[in-house]
């Protein structure tokens, strides 16, 4: 507030500083960034930021379907 740091100020002293700040007040707001757990791309919205599940499932299902088709074709020839 007006160039004064409130970091280690008691609540009542900070309130007094605001009350005596005058008509024009300059505020500098800072906040600490919360440490993030997980991958760097973590968005905090419930998604991990890694590969989407579909990026793993779709190719896996395609390979499984191809393997079943090949197996059925091979068995028909026997």
Whether the per-residue pLDDT at 45 is higher than 60: the answer is no
* Ranges of each domain in the chain: 1-32
- Each residue's pLDDT tens digit, 3-40: 888 888 888 888 888 888 888 888 888 777 777 666 55
pTM above 0.75, yes or no: no
| pLDDT score of 52 | 74
Instruction: Report the candidate in 39, 35, 36 with the shortest Cα–Cα distance to residue 49.
Output: 39
């Amino acid at each position: 507030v007006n160039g004064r740091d409130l970091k280690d100020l008691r609540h009542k002293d900070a309130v007094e500083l605001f009350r005596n700040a005058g008509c024009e007040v300059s505020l500098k707001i800072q906040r600490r960034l919360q440490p993030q757990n997980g991958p760097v791309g973590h968005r905090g919205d419930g998604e991990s930021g890694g590969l989407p599940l579909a990026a793993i499932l779709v190719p896996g299902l395609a390979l499984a379907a191809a393997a079943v088709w090949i197996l059925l074709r091979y068995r028909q020839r026997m």
